[in-house]
Amino acid sequence: MEQQKESATLGMWIFLATEILFFGGLFLTYTINRHTYPDIFAECSKSLDLKLGGFNTVVLIASSLTMAMSVWSAQVGKKKLVTLFLALTLLLGCVFLGVKAIEYHAKYVEHHIPGFSFEFEPGSDVATNAHAQLFFSLYFGMTGLHATHMVVGAGLLVWLIKESLKGRFTPEYNTPVENIGLYWHFVDIVWIYLFPLLYLIDRH
């Protein structure tokens, strides 16, 4: 049993290592383009909503905490607490996605979604618009991929809650809670880097 648990954790980490490189490629693209067009990227970064972004960072870290609490509850055999903390994690995850939807809507209203109707500011010239679109393509690509991971995570949480209501998770067997927990923390870490890089760096 101990060996099974170890290999499950190991496998999950190998999967996460591939995910690190998946997101790493995007971060690399962002860094190179930001270095190439520093001024316009600074302007675009400032147009993002710092309060909503910061709020979401706190929400997501809190959800990581509740997830860790749920894993702990499973390990010490408190079945009701497992369900409670899983539900809290799901709730916080949904809050994050809701706030993200509000931010995306604001960008839509401002014509900041790359495409035919893109206009960074009224009367921006062609080059400014082209480079600003590069920033927003990366912004939507990176946060969109992150949000997709959140949606997958939320689906997994629903399943975990269903199983935990049946009382399946015990100190002897809690691998699903632990591994989905690892996934959830990974998605949190991605946001920990996305937030300063997209929202914070040019705020002085």
Partner 1 sequence: MVLTGTTVYAATVDLNQYFPGLNVIVALVIATCKATLVVLFFMHAYYSTKRTQLIIIAGVFWLAIMLFMTLGDYASRPWDTH
Using CB under 8 A as the criterion, which residues of the chain lie in contact with partner 1 when the complex forms?
A: 6, 9-10, 13-14, 16-17, 20-21, 24-25, 27-28, 31-32, 35-37, 50, 54, 57-58, 61-62, 64-65, 67-68, 71, 178, 181-182, 185-186, 188-189, 192-193, 195-197, 200-201, 203-204
**What is d(CA 115, CA 94) in angstroms, rounded to the nearest whole number?**
28
Nearer residue to partner 1 within complex by CB, 43 or 188:
188
Provide, rounded to whole angstroms, the least separation between the CB of residue 15 and partner 1: 10
Nearer residue to partner 1 within complex by CB, 28 or 108:
28
Provide, rounded to whole angstroms, the least separation between the CB of residue 113 and partner 1: 26
Nearer residue to partner 1 within complex by CB, 103 or 119:
103
Task: Write out the DSSP string of 8-35.
Answer: HHHHHHHHHHHHHHHHHHHHHHHHHHHH
Provide, rounded to whole angstroms, the least separation between the CB of residue 145 and partner 1: 16
Provide, rounded to whole angstroms, the least separation between the CB of residue 14 and partner 1: 6
Nearer residue to partner 1 within complex by CB, 2 or 117:
2
- 191: region left, alpha or beta (phi > 0 left; psi from -120 to 50 alpha): alpha
Contact 117, 160 (CB under 8 A): no
Long-range contacts of 142-147 (CB under 8 A, 24+ apart): 142/23, 142/26, 142/27, 142/30, 142/194, 142/198, 143/100, 143/194, 143/198, 145/23, 145/26, 146/23, 146/187, 146/190, 146/191, 146/194, 147/97, 147/100
Provide, rounded to whole angstroms, the least separation between the CB of residue 87 and partner 1: 18
Nearer residue to partner 1 within complex by CB, 161 or 200:
200
